[in-house]
Every structure is written in C-alpha cells, then in structure tokens.
Structure 1
Amino acid sequence: MPRLLEQDGDDVSATPAAAPPVVVVVGAGPVGLTAALLLADLGIAATVLERQPAPHPLPRAVHLDDEVLRVLHRVGVGAAFLARSRPATGLRLLDAERRVLAEFARDTGLSDTGLSDTGPGDTGPGDTGLGNTGRSDNGFPFANMFHQPDLEALLLARVLDHPLIVVHRGTDVIRLERTAGSTVVHAVLDGTARAFPAAVVLGCDGARSTVRDLVGIAMQDLGLTERWLVVDVRSDLPLDTWGGVEQICDPARAATFMRVVGDRYRWEFQLRVGAGDPPELGRLLRPWTGR
C-alpha cells in the first residue's frame, strides 16, 4: 500500500496557485502509475521516480479483482485492459490425482462489455453484458487474469500522455528531508544529485521499499518460510485446463496451475526442505503437458 508522508499541520490547499503542490511518487509499478493518474486527473501534479531504467519485462502479478478494475477504468485504461485480459472461471481444489475435491465457479457471462475508456469521473462501465453471476455489484468481472507487462504498458502510455505527470527513470532515492513547508526527496539521477520538493511523498516502491526504510516503518513478518518454484511458460499447443485456477491439495507437494491469458500459463510448486529440491521440471509439468 502507498505510504503517505506530510508535515503535521501543513495546509496543502493554502499553497499559492503560482506554485501548485507536487506529489512525488516513488515507484513506477502499477500502484505508483495508478496513483499518479488519480492525482493528475484531480489537477494535482505528480513526479514519479523509478529506480529501474525500463519496465520489468517478465510476468509477476497475474490476477486482479473487480475493485482494481474499477480503479483502472477510473484512470482511463479499463476497456484496453479488458481487451488484453480474460475473466477467470473460478477455483478448483484437486487431490494428488487431479480429481475435483471442491469447486468455486464463476459464470463469467462475458459477451459484449460495452465498456469504453471515456475519461476521468466514470465510476462504472454501464451495461457490461455480464450475467448476474459474472459481475460484481460495480459491474466488472470478479476475477481477471492478465500479463503484468501489458498492464504496465497501458498505464505508462496514459501517464506519459498526461501534462501533469513527469516520470524520471534510473533514479535512486537516497534521503527524505523534512523542511518547514514540504518534504524534499533527495535522489541520484544519471549520476547527478537531484532534489525534488514535494507537498506529499507516496512510497509505492514495493516489498523492498526504500521509502519505508528511510521513514523507519517496520515490515510486518508473519513468519512464513515456505519456498515455491514459479514457472511461467508460453505454449503453442493448448494445455489441459478448464479456464480457472487449479489448486493441487497434495500433502507431498502443494501446487497451483492456471492459464493466464492467450498462450501464457503459470505453475507454482511448493519446494520441500531436504527433499532434493528443486525437482526435475518436466516431471512436475507432465500431468498437464502429457510429455
């Protein structure tokens, strides 16, 4: 979640019109780009600072729900996202032989979304063409599978087209300085020290957040120590799947399988301590690939 930093007692609304408040967003992933768009669409200038020189090209997140899609529609990329994603058909719990133990089905009912990205201020898609069991109360599919680089490309294109947003890549944030009326973000950009005054700083820089470390916010550790092998592939031949997510409830090795979107598939396998892991990958995939 984004972290909010501001001076106690600061009245951002009292900032003179000649020097409108700027929000500095640290992190240009989906959260940071979405935050910048929400701010800019309200007339608040945003500067986005990102350490990496280019967007990450590999899959990471693969699912988002109706509430997230509602926000994506709000910032103008909902229709484009639906064109590059697919509604999932639910969840199956399977035993070690892939026999169904339980099923939670989603009737997507998705035919004609009727959705267009008409700009800021829209809160819902109107008539989506979704059946009652296929959409949430806000009109969007409950479960949506997607390729994260596709989503980031959509958000980045909208960000770069917005006159109130500036993006600096290859930028390392090194210090946050509190001043009388703002916070100054000190960073290194292309080997040069830079200072970015900000009315507010949003830390949207992920699990290894620099902002969190600089502010001194502790990471809550739930003590989970399991290790998992995540396998993302593209396959020219359709694999054996029902359109939803499969959870293999095998005490010897839990696993998850899903078709993401298009020809993209994902497996997740639990790695067992002291059992000769990682195992031979082909053997793990054989129940789905037949090879």
Structure 2
Amino acid sequence: MEEYDVAVIGYGPTGMTLAALLGQRGHRVLVLERYTGLYNLPRAACFDDEVMRTFQKLGLSEEIGRGAVVQRDYDWINADGETLVELTYADPAPCGWAQLYMMFQPHVEDVLDRHDKALPTVSVRQGVTVTALIQDDAGVTLRGTSEGGGDISVRAAFVVGADGGSGFARRVVSEAVEDYGFQENWLVCDFRMHRAVAGLPMFRQVCDPAQPTSIVRIGPHHHRFSFMLNPGETREEATRPGRVWDRVARYLTPADAELIRAVNYVFRSRIAGRWRQGRVLLAGDAAHEMPPFLAQGMCSGIRDSHNIAWKLDLVLTGQAHPDILDTYQQEREPHVRFITERAIELGRVQTMRDPARARERDARLLAQRRGSQAPEKLRFPPLSGGLVVNGGGLFPQAAVRAKSGSGLFDDVVGAGWCIVAATPGVLDLLTPMQRAAWERIGGRVAVVSPSSPDVSVPGALEDLSGTYAEWFAAHGAAAAVVRPDWYVFGTATDGGGLTALLGRLSRALEGRDVLVPS
C-alpha cells in the first residue's frame, strides 16, 4: 500500500497551498480531488498582504501578481449616488506587500497547480472521491474510488480535509456545526472585459435597498457584479443572460465584455465544532464558512494551511509532540469567528432592504463624512492561547540590508523560526543547549539596527525604513521569537526574558507545557 506523510482531501487554494508548503519542506504529500480538473471559474475576488507573503514564501509572488491588481480604495454609495464610506488600503502593508489585491482566481490556481505538480514529493490525483477514513495509532487509511471506476487505498500519517463545507472530511471530523443563521441569496455575474470602460467602478458597494449590489474588478481583465436577489426571484430567472445584461446595463454592454458566468449563491456562516479528530484535521471551508463582505474566505483558508503546515512539519520531523496540533483550532477559531461576525455585521449594514432603516443609515454615515470622521479600519485580533506566550500579532516585513545584499526581510533571512533582536547583546545569555535546540527546529537569528550591518555580528541587518525600530519601541521589546507563519510567539525585554521564552517553547513542543498568555 502506498504511504505518505500527509494526505490532503480537496484541491482548491487551501489544499493547494498546504501541499505546496509541506512539499517545500520535503514531505511526501498526496492530494485527492474529486473533480477531474481545475474549476477554472472565479469564486474568491481578492487576497491580502499576509496571503501574498505566503506566496512569496513559495517563490510565487511575481507569477501570482501577474493575475492580480493592487486595489487602493473601496467606496459605498447609496441609491442617490452619494458616497457614504470611502476606505483606503495601504501599500505596503505590514507584511511588506499591498494590503489588498483583486485577483482572477483561475490564474492563482493555475500557478499553484503547476507549482504543486512540479514538486518531487507531491502527488496530485484528480477524479478521486474519498469514501472512508480509518484511523489507528500509526496513521490513517483512506479508501475511495477513481473516475475510471477503480478503487484506491492509501496510507498517510496525517490527513487534512480541505474539501469544503459539504465535503466528506467535515462529516467525519465534526458532527456539530454552529450556524450563525445568516443566509443571503445572491446572483454573482462575472465578465471578461473586451476593453476599458470609462466610469466603471473598481470596488464599490451600492447600498440601495431596492437592489443591493457589489461591483468588483477581479484581476486585470475581469469584472464581477453581485446582486442580492429579490424575494421570490428564482434561480432560473435570475441567471438568464438577458436578465443579467438588464441588471448591468447601467455599467456594461455586450460590446464591452463577455458574460462568462452567472450563478446563484447562498452565502452562509457556519463553523465546525471540532477541527481535529486524532490524525485528521479540517481546513478552509471544511472548518468554517463565512459571507464574502470582508473578502476573507480564501485568505482564512490559506492562513489555516500555513498554521497547519509548520506544525505538521515539526511533528513529522520528530521535533514536536503531536499534541501541538490541538493549538491549530485554539489559535485559528477565535480569529475566524472575529472575521465571520464582522462580515455579518457589515453585510447587514450594506444590504438593508427596509427603505426607512436605509435612510437612517445613510444619514448617519453622511453626517460622519461631513464631520470628517474617517471610518474605523478593521484590525484583525492577534492570536492568543495555543503556541503564543505574549504578542500574537504578525511580525512585519520590510526592506533590510545584509552584508550579502538587500531585499524584503523574509527573502534575506529565510523561512522558519526566527529570533529577531534589536541589539546583539540580548542574545548573550543563550546557552549552548538552547542554541542547539534552536538550530534543530531550523531557527534563525536576525539583529536589526538602523545602521549598516556589522559584519562581525551574525545575522546583522540594516533596517532601511525604520520599520523594526518602530516595532520594537511600540512593543517595549528588545527581542521577538517569531514563528514560521510570522506570528509572534513572544517578546522579551532582555536576555533573561529571551532565554525564558525559548525554555517555554521547548517545553511546549515536547508537550510538557500548556501555554497561558501573559
């Protein structure tokens, strides 16, 4: 029987990214996908700087970027065309990339697909439906059927289900699913543009109670219109091409674009009660489904993959106890709940169908604009619990210079665990045993200062933009222990605090210490 380190069920962006991250580390990965080919139609519309940093880690940022466009603003207008809210997006954002990219998802998936299939340790089998998972102390047996009718039976040490909210893996891992009760019926229409159209909104929410509408460019050559369906409107009626062109006539004509898809979606908000059962984990929509109003569905799945990948790497290489896999849901679920709940709140504000309530909303938002009250920008919460002592936020990425050259921090320093210090002296108390343990998990050391790198200091970097000096000052820290997914395990004010942090990390990886945030 064929044996693998990890089997991934599902080959969307979540599964593709997980396979890529594990394959990059040399693990034997099998991907099983029930469809015979890629979906080749867009679903998600955008991704953020953290996701682009993940693509950077895979060496794919430039190629992915060719199918994406940096988005710098987002507006809401009311039925009268008045601007209610105007948001701007940073470039660069904390992860060193633009805060928002509008993408054509088939391009992203094509890039990931080619990358995965070129990795020598990754095997992708499409047209395979998994029908059974049988766990024992040593691994998981997966059984299924192929498109040609043959049976398959393979073994993996761990399995990750990334096959969606209605997929096989969720039914195996979690019978309990919490439903927020937020459901909306929408028509999503995608167009391939023939030419530029003057006045076509790039990213806009039309808060019209008669017809809530979202207008989004999805990559360099495509555009999306989404319409909240009216009560009683049928799928057949809504998706009829003539009806679609009537809806977009204010913005587009058939001379401007080709309609490539019109589909009726029901947006749901559900979270599985359990994301791990022994050697089987859930990721992406299999673990959580959220409405699209914050455009974080795909991003959340890729964050799941990154969180799982480095922890599985430690377990598979014998550097960590399997119990650290429990920290996956501990860390990711609160983050996902925050995004889901905010997306629901936002959706309810944007899609009010009651004219009187919509007028009240408009008056409130217009008053805020007249008073020059900038809309509050959404900030995702830091991770807490799990493998976090203090901090829990994302460590920034900016341009640095080493003696070998300059570039973005991750490219210069490399991937994996990293101790980032503001001064070299904070490292002096590390014992030889701690340094050896750090090297075993692939840990790196960087010393970032405002001046040119001191060639006598290992890991010395020049902070070209002052980003790291600002970060250390804001956190009152002299050193940070940064995880492979760039979330901060903990900060220290001196060498003694740093050695204590590494001691706690060592005990946690051995399964001897349950971390409690300080």
Higher RCO (Cα < 8 Å, 6 or more apart): 1
Name the residue aligned to 2:77: 94
CA 1:287/1:99 → structure 2, altered by over 3 Å: closer, same or farther?
farther
Displacement, 1:287?
A: 2.2
Q: 1:284 to 1:242 in 2, by over 3 A?
A: closer
User: What's 1:48 paired with?
Assistant: 31
SS class of match (1:149): helix
Amino acid at match of 1:35: L
Match of 2:213 in 1: 255
Name the CA shift for 1:282/1:43 in 2 (closer, same or farther; >3 Å): closer
Structure 1 segments (4+ residues) deviating >6 Å: none
Whole-Å separation in 1 of the counterparts to 2:233 and 2:108: 38
Equivalent residue number for residue 45 of structure 2 = 62
1:278 aligned onto 2:261: no
Name the SS for the 1:141 alignment partner. coil
Could you give the per-residue CA deviations for residues 98-136 of structure 1, whole angstroms, max 9, x where no partner exists?
332221123xxxxxxxxxxxxxxxxxxxxxxxxxx4111
Cα distance between partner residues in 2 of 1:40 and 1:79: 20
1:165 corresponds to 2:122: yes
| Structure 2 equivalent of residue 37 of structure 1 | 20
Structure 1 contact 229–271 (Cα < 8 Å) conserved: yes
- Residue ranges of structure 2 left out of the alignment (5+ in a row): 255-518
- Structure 1: runs of 5+ lacking an equivalent: 1-18, 107-132
Which amino acid in the other structure matches residue 40 of structure 1? G
Which structure would you say has the larger Rg? 2
More displaced stretch, 49-58 vs 229-238: 229-238
Q: Residues 49 and 94 of structure 2 are in contact (CA less than 8 Å); yes or no, is this contact kept in structure 1?
A: no
The normalised TM-score by structure 1 is: 0.79
Q: Which residue of 1 aligns with 2:157?
A: 199
Q: Give the number of aligned pairs.
A: 247
Partner of 2:99: 142
Find out whether 1:289 has 2:252 as its counterpart.
yes
Whole-angstrom CA distance in 1 between matches of 2:9 and 2:253: 45
Q: Which has the higher helix share?
A: 2
Shift of 1:75: 1.5
Q: Could you say which residue in structure 1 is the equivalent of 2:134?
A: 177
Q: 1:213 to 1:153 in 2, by over 3 A?
A: same
More divergent stretch after superposition (280-289 vs 35-44): 280-289
Instruction: Report the equivalent of 2:337.
Output: none
Whether contact under 8 Å (2:202, 2:217) holds in the other structure is yes
SS at 1:199's partner residue? strand
Is the CA contact (8 Å cut-off) linking 1:212 and 1:218 kept in structure 2? no
Alpha-carbon contact 1:146-1:260 (below 8 Å) kept: yes
| Aligned residue type for 1:227 | N
Deviation at 1:240, TM superposition (A): 4.3
Deviations 1:2-35 (A, max 9, x none): xxxxxxxxxxxxxxxxx98510000111110110
Distance change >3 Å, CA 88–CA 94, structure 1 → 2: same
Displacement of 1:241:
4.6
CA distance in 1, matches of 2:204, 2:45: 14
**Pair 231,242 (structure 1): closer, same or farther in 2 beyond 3 Å:** closer
Tell me if the contact between 2:190 and 2:223 (Cα under 8 Å) persists in the aligned partners.
yes
Measure, in 2, the Cα distance between the counterparts of 1:169 and 1:43.
22
Q: Which stretch of the first structure deviates more once superposed, 70-79 or 239-248? A: 239-248
Shift of 1:261: 2.0
Give the match's secondary structure for 2:251.
helix
